[in-house]
Amino acid sequence: MTTPSRRLRAFARSRIVGVAIVATGTALALAGCSMIGGPGTTTAGDTPATPSAEATATTSPTPTPSPKPTPTGWIVIKAGDSVENAAKIDITTPITVAASKSTLTSVKVTGSNDTTVTGAYNADHTVWTTGSGAVLSPSTTYTVKAAGRGTDGLKTTKTTTYTTKTMAVIGSDITPEDGETVGIGMPIIVRFSAPITNKADVEKNLVVTSSSKVAGSWNWFSASEVHYRTQRYWPAGTNVTLKMNLKGVVGSKSGVFITDKVKTFHVGTAHLSKVDLKTHTLKYYVNGKLARTIPITGGKKGWETRSGVKLVLERRTDINMRSASVGVSDKDSADYYDLEIKYGLRVTWTGEFLHSAPWSIPAQGHANTSHGCVGMSEANTYYIWKDAMRGDPVETTGSTKYMPVAGNGWGDWNMSWSAWQAGSAL
């Protein structure tokens, strides 16, 4: 039998348990509320919630870029009438760069051959041009880069290219040499590296001036060689200038000149030798006055010395002359020779000289016994040789064999003045 006191104690324990259960439920209810509304609070077995970006940071909006201002100025590049990337322009075509509503700040023209083309601006820097005197190189691509500043302060640029036509560059070789002192008969000889078909265009740009007033003219010996000669010998002491203003001149369909040239030379003392093969004498004149009469021997029959006007081509000393050079190699032949010459003046490319010939002194003044040269004593030869210059004239008479105008030296003076002028392209 349960006593009252035990029933009271049991009731009390049950009340305590009920309160504990109620308290625990309350705690659970509170824990559940904290999961919903309390950030950072968890219970066992739950995964912590990750805060969203919107909840943790404020993102700045991406700005919309402002449109780039458009320059009001612009640049136009032209090669002649060709505006853009033109191919096969002439080498003399001027390149022009023009700015509108702006001024040019820089222009650069460079070639694929590593050359730079120069030009000039106008007064207000709105136009740049190479000018009509500029000459480009053949078969070359040129890049034109230009920059300018507009009235609105903005920079503008332009780039384009041009390619020149394929043409050969024509060169030239000139006689006499620059600064040389020459004889009174010296012609000006210009040899070109390619045949010239536009002879008139070339000739009008070959300008000869001199300190003495003389009449002169060009004569075309061939398509690649032209000579200038005066009507009479140059006056002694004359200074002569040749200006070849050929830069940009088209010499033929496939050839062009790209440079100018200037050559100057001086005409020295007037030396003139007059050889008479019939009297076997040489009269030597200096500045128009007879300086010495010299006995000589000329070419024998079959080996005649040429009549006509020859010019000294070169002055030589210690020359070995052999008959093999004229086709005689048989030592048993009466025409064989192998001689050492102390002084000699060449007057033809085939071997005609005025030279010292001490072995023929008995014949000098009396007979022609040589193989075509004019021989004299060593002393008389030296008298002429020591002052001789290229272009000194040697006038020879008395033979029926004649010096040609071309092909064997400088035979320019063997043509009449009227025939000479007729050889000009102008």
Q: What is the spatial distance between Cα 96 and Cα 114, in angstroms, rounded to a whole number? A: 20
Q: CB 204: neighbour CB atoms within 10 A? A: 13
Contact 282, 305 (CB under 8 A): no
Same-domain pairing of 255 and 371:
no
Place of tokens 């010296």: 186
Q: What is the spatial distance between Cα 164 and Cα 139, in angstroms, rounded to a whole number? A: 5
**Bond into 48 cis (ω within 30):** no
- Host H or E run for residue 26: helix 4-37
Region of 101 on the Ramachandran plot (φ > 0 left; ψ -120 to 50 alpha; else beta): left
pLDDT of residue 239: 98
- Both tokens of 22, joined, read 């109620």
Is 235 among the domain residues?
yes
pLDDT of residue 70: 78
Contact 416, 309 (CB under 8 A): no
Residue that is last in its domain, among 148, 164, 180? 164
Is 47 among the domain residues?
no
pTM score > 0.85 for this model?
no
Place of tokens 């193989």: 371
pLDDT of residue 4: 46
421 SS3 class: helix
Same-domain pairing of 133 and 206:
no
Same-domain pairing of 144 and 91:
yes
In degrees and rounded to multiples of 5, residue 101 shows phi and psi of 55, 30
Contact 271, 284 (CB under 8 A): yes
Low-confidence ranges of the chain (pLDDT < 50): 1-45, 47, 53-55
Same-domain pairing of 252 and 291:
no
Same-domain pairing of 264 and 276:
no
Closest CA to 266 of 158, 166, 386, 177: 177
Same-domain pairing of 309 and 288:
yes
Is 13 among the domain residues?
no
pLDDT of residue 323: 82
Q: What is the DSSP string of 241-274?
A: EEEE--TT-EEETTEE----EEEEEEE-S-EEEE
β-strands 314-322, 338-346 pairing = antiparallel
Same-domain pairing of 257 and 276:
no
Same-domain pairing of 407 and 279:
yes
Residue that is last in its domain, among 134, 164, 194? 164
Contact 94, 134 (CB under 8 A): yes
Q: What is the spatial distance between Cα 226 and Cα 190, in angstroms, rounded to a whole number? A: 5
pLDDT of residue 59: 62
Which residues constitute the domain of residue 280? 271-411
101 SS3 class: coil
Contact 291, 269 (CB under 8 A): no
Same-domain pairing of 263 and 283:
no
Residue that is last in its domain, among 199, 234, 268? 268
Q: Which residues of 312-347 are buried (b: 16+ CB within 10 A; e: fewer)?
A: bbebeeeeebebeeeeeeeeeeeeebeeebbbbbbb
The count of structural domains within the chain is: 3
Residues 6+ apart with CB under 8 A from 337: 321, 322, 323, 328, 371
Is 385 among the domain residues?
yes
Is 12 among the domain residues?
no
pLDDT of residue 47: 47
Instruction: Report the C-alpha dihedral over residues 283, 285, 289, 293, rounded to 10 degrees.
Output: -30
Same-domain pairing of 158 and 216:
no
Is 8 among the domain residues?
no
pLDDT of residue 58: 56
Is 29 among the domain residues?
no
Amino acid at 310: K
Contact 305, 399 (CB under 8 A): yes
Is 204 among the domain residues?
yes
β-strands 155-164, 87-89 pairing = parallel
Same-domain pairing of 299 and 404:
yes
pLDDT of residue 347: 98
Same-domain pairing of 275 and 384:
yes
What's the CATH code of the domain at 243?
2.60.40.3710
Burial category of 299 from C-beta neighbours within 10 Å (exposed 0-12, middle 13-18, buried 19 and up): buried
146 SS3 class: strand
What's the CATH code of the domain at 140?
2.60.40.3780
